[in-house]
Structure 1
Amino acid sequence: MTVTRLSAAATILSAVAASLLLTSCSASVDVDKSTPKLSADKLATTVSEKLAATTGQPKPRIDCPENLAGQVGNTTRCKLTADDGSTLGVSVKVTSVEGDQINFDIKADDKASPAKN
């Protein structure tokens, strides 16, 4: 039974990875200085919402370790964690900044990492 559960989680993560190739997102942010920033929490929420909308699945658990500075080309890595504990890396790259709006692409890794026992 464990193999089936891991297989189902891997299938879901694979579907997320396949549907996420360079999906564009945007978020409005508060401008404190000349460079707008998107907090790690807001970034994680936005990525989770976009994944859910793209895949038709419930919002996944996303963790982003740092804020995203609104400069074209800036990147960060977030992590999607499935219910079984397996993980999938998600890259976020700023594509444009329009005033206080940071536009970015999301790209999921091709393979998930198995759950740690």
Structure 2
Amino acid sequence: MTMARLSTAAWSLSAVPVGILLVGCSASVDVGTSTPKMSSGKLATIVAEKLAATTGQPKPDITCPEDLAGKVGTTTRCTLTADDGSTLGVTVKVTSVDGDQINFDLEADSTASPAPN
């Protein structure tokens, strides 16, 4: 049986046991700076693809509020939103930078937030 999307509860059950995922990707460089940055849109796409690949489920709806600076230790929070409106946080942390390539870990929260009433 194939599901179009998982509920947040299902995502939390399927994504959390995966633990931390190491993801390597290319990043674009902002003109005038020496620190590479990945746009929030590109980051959201990569996070969704990696979660889908790891869980074997369709790509979830992910949003990331800010660009990711290519500096080791930098973190940002992205949000997975389920069809029912509930959400699950995903922490992204830069682990290494090699030129324009930013490598980072993903860690999904263990508990989902219910949809607003």
TM-score grouping bracket, smaller chain normalisation: 0.7 to 0.9
Coordinate RMSD, CA, aligned: 1.2
5+ long unaligned stretches in structure 1: 1-7
For structure 2, the residue ranges without an aligned partner over 5 or more in a row are 1-6
**Would you tell me which structure has more helix in proportion to its own residues?**
1
Conserved 8 A contact 2:29-2:35: yes
**1:83-110 CA-partner distances (Å, limit 9, x unpaired):** 1111100000000001110000000001
Inter-partner Cα distance in structure 2 for 1:29 and 1:11? 31
- Tell me if 1:109 matches 2:103: no
Q: By how many angstroms is 1:13 displaced?
A: 2.7
Task: Tell me if structure 1 keeps the 8 A contact 2:8–2:87.
Answer: no
Residue aligned with 2:15, SS: helix
Shift, 1:15, TM fit: 1.1
Q: Size of the alignment, in residue pairs?
A: 109
What's the TM-score, normalizing by structure 1?
0.88
> Following TM superposition, where does structure 1 have runs of at least 4 consecutive aligned residues deviating by more than 4 angstroms?
none
1:31 is matched with which residue?
Answer: 29
TM-score of the two chains, using structure 2 as the length reference: 0.88
